[in-house]
Amino acid sequence: MNLRALAIGLLAGQLWAVAQPAPAKAKPRPAAAKPAAAKPAAKAPAVAKPVAEQPPAPGEIREFPVAAIKLEGNNTYTAEQILAVAQLGVGAMANKPTFEAARDRLLATGAFDRVDYIYFTASDGKSYDATFTVVEATPFYPFRLEELPAGVEAYLKSKDPLFGPKIPATKEKVAVWTKLIQEKAGVPVVGKVDADSPNNLYVMFRPAGSAPSVAEIKFTGNSVIPSAALRNSINGVAIGTIYNETHFRQLLATAIKPMYEERGRLRVTFPKVTTERSRDVNGLNVLVTVDEGESFMLGDIRIQGRQLPEADLMRAADFRQGDIANMTAVAEGVERMRNVLRRLGYIGAVATPDRLVNDQKKVIDLVIDIDQGDQFMMRALKVEGLDIESEPVIRKMWGLKEGKPFNPEYPDVFLNRVRADQVFEELGETRSGVTIDRAAKTVDVTLFFGRAAKSKSVLKSAKP
C-alpha cells in the first residue's frame, strides 16, 4: 500500500468515528432515601425511680448524701467525738469507700477494738442512712505528763477529738499521743503504763531517758511551820526516790499533813507541786506550794455508848473543849479511852471518833462512838518452866484472881515486875500467852519461864 492510499484510509476512519452517536452518559445513582425523622412523642410526667431500682452500671459505686448516722456501743466517747475522727457527718456525700475510710480512721486511733458499719438507701431513694457500731478498747487509765513543757495538754486536746481524762492503754493509742507530745515538746518522749500501787494504774508520758529521782525539796506559802522543819520531816523518805507526783503527794500526806493537824490546821492542802532539773546533781528539785488554812479549836465533845464510865474515859482522854484541835492528840486520847475499857475486861472494845467540822466557826465537834463489847473474866493461871518451889511463890505474887475482870495488859506487866524485882538470880526469856473462851467469856493465862528452871535458879525474893 502506497502512502496516498494510507492517508485516505486514516481520514476515512476518523470521519466514521465522528459520525457515530455519542454514548449516553450514565445517570448518577440516586442517594438512599433518609428515613423520615420521628416526631417527638408527647412527654410523660417525670417519675423518679428509687435508687435501689436503678442498678449501677458495671464498676459504678453510687454516691449519695448521708441523711442520718447512728452510733451504737459507745460508752466513754460521745457520738460527736467519734464522728469528728471518722470525718463523716449528715449531708456529706458518701459511698462504700467513704464508709470504709471512716471505719479505718476510727480503728487507727487505737481507741476501739472493733468498728462495724452498715448503710442502706433512705426512704427518699436519694440518700443513705448509716449505723456505726463500735467496741471501745478497755481498760481506760488516767494519764500523766511529767517533765514536759507547759501547753502539752492543751495541744493534745486540740489535736485529738477523743481527748479525755482517761485513755485506753493500747499500743496504738499510746503511740498516737506520744507522737503528738513529741511534736509539741520537741524532745523524744516515751509513754507507758505505770503504777503507784497495784490498784492505781496510769499512763505516764515523759521525756525519754532514765526516770529522775528527788534531789531537793522546797516549800513555799508556809509560815506556821518553818521550811527547815518541813524538809527534815520529809527528806528521809523522799530524797533519792524515783519521782512521780502521786507517790510524792502520798509522802506529803503522811509526813507533812500530821504536823499541821497537830496545830489545828485541818484544812492544809498542797495545791501545786512542780519540778525542775537540778543544776547541781542528776535529779529533780521539787517545789511544794502549801496552803496552811486556819486553825481550828475543839468544840462539843460527846461519848456515845452503853453503861460507860464517862468520867474515867474523859480523864484518860486528856482533851477538852476549847483546846487546839490537835488531831494527833485526839487519836492518842481515844486510844487511852479504849485501854480504860480493856482493863475492865472489855478486851474487844472499839472507840471511833467522828469529827464534825464547822468551817465558819473554825470549830470541831467530836462524837466518840464506843462499843465495849463483852466483858471477860479471869479464869485459870498456868505456870510453865518453874520448879515446885518457885511456882507457888509466883502464884502468890499473881494479883489477878479468878472471877475478876481480865486486864490484857497485866500478864506482861507482871513478868516485867518479876524481872525488875530480881526475884531470880538468873532469869531467862519470859513470855505470856492467853486462851480466850468467847462462849464462856473467860480467859486462861499461861506464864512461860525459860532458863530459870533449867539452871535451877535460886529464888531470891517473893514480894506479894
pLDDT digits (tens, 9 = 90+) for 369-424: 999 999 999 999 999 988 888 899 999 999 999 999 999 999 999 999 999 988 88
Q: Span 49-78, mean pLDDT? A: 73
The dihedral sign for the CA sequence 62, 63, 67, 69 = positive
377-384: strand order across its sheet: 377-384, 442-449, 430-437
Same-domain check for residues 284 and 303:
no
Same-domain check for residues 396 and 364:
no
d(CA 284, CA 91): 54
Domain around 118: 61-136
Last residue of one domain, picked from the residues 107, 136, 165: 136
Same-domain check for residues 151 and 198:
yes
d(CA 335, CA 368): 11
Q: Is residue 51 assigned to a domain?
A: no
Strand partners, 24: none
Q: What was the pLDDT predicted at 78?
A: 94
Whether the predicted pLDDT of 282 surpasses 70: yes
d(CA 148, CA 18): 118
Q: State pLDDT tens for residues 130-150.
A: 999 999 998 999 998 887 888
Q: 424 or 231, which is more confident?
A: 231
> Amino acid identity, residue 288?
V
Query: Distance of CA 457 to CAs 419, 450, 452, 463, Å?
Result: 13, 11, 5, 17
Q: What was the pLDDT predicted at 458?
A: 46
Q: The CATH number of the domain where 367 resides is what? A: 3.10.20.310
Local structure of 5: helix, strand or coil: helix
Q: State pLDDT tens for residues 423-436.
A: 887 788 899 999 99
Q: Is residue 350 assigned to a domain?
A: yes
First-residue to last-residue Cα distance in the chain: 197
Same-domain check for residues 367 and 406:
no
Q: 263 or 3, which is more confident?
A: 263
d(CA 221, CA 9): 149
Q: What was the pLDDT predicted at 75?
A: 93
d(CA 98, CA 423): 96
Q: What was the pLDDT predicted at 197?
A: 64
Q: What was the pLDDT predicted at 58?
A: 45
Q: The CATH number of the domain where 199 resides is what? A: 3.10.20
Same-domain check for residues 303 and 342:
yes
**Which of 114-123, 311-320, 448-457 bottoms out in mean pLDDT, i.e. has the lowest?**
448-457
Q: What was the pLDDT predicted at 268?
A: 96
Same-domain check for residues 172 and 231:
no
pLDDT band at 306 (very low <50, low <70, confident <90, very high): confident
d(CA 309, CA 323): 22
Q: What was the pLDDT predicted at 150?
A: 86
Same-domain check for residues 230 and 272:
yes
Q: State pLDDT tens for residues 241-280.
A: 888 888 899 999 999 999 999 999 999 999 999 998 888 8
Q: Is residue 282 assigned to a domain?
A: yes
Q: What was the pLDDT predicted at 123?
A: 85
Q: What was the pLDDT predicted at 425?
A: 77
Last residue of one domain, picked from the residues 266, 291, 316: 291
Same-domain check for residues 266 and 302:
no
Nearest 10 degrees: Cα torsion 448, 454, 455, 458: 60
Q: How many domains does the chain have?
A: 5
Q: What was the pLDDT predicted at 23?
A: 46
96-108 helix and 79-86 helix, angle to the nearest 10 degrees: 110
Same-domain check for residues 146 and 192:
yes
Same-domain check for residues 227 and 286:
yes
Last residue of one domain, picked from the residues 111, 136, 161: 136
Q: Span 17-44, mean pLDDT? A: 47
Q: 422 or 446, which is more confident?
A: 446
Q: Is residue 281 assigned to a domain?
A: yes
Q: What was the pLDDT predicted at 198?
A: 62
Q: Span 349-370, mean pLDDT? A: 94
Q: Is residue 152 assigned to a domain?
A: yes
Residue 289 half-sphere exposure toward CB, CA atoms < 13 A:
5
Same-domain check for residues 236 and 253:
yes
The single-letter DSSP state of residue 52 is: G
Instruction: Kindly state the percentage of the chain with pLDDT values over 70.
Output: 83
Q: Is residue 15 assigned to a domain?
A: no
**Unique residue bearing C-alpha cell 445517570:** 27
Q: What was the pLDDT predicted at 387?
A: 87
Q: Are 120 and 52 in contact (CB under 8 A)?
A: no
Q: Is residue 448 assigned to a domain?
A: yes
Q: Is residue 89 assigned to a domain?
A: yes
Same-domain check for residues 160 and 182:
yes
Whether the predicted pLDDT of 122 surpasses 50: yes
Q: What does pLDDT average to over the chain?
A: 85
Continuous segment of H or E residues that includes residue 249: helix 245-255
Q: State pLDDT tens for residues 176-228.
A: 999 999 999 998 999 988 876 667 788 989 888 767 889 999 999 999 999 99
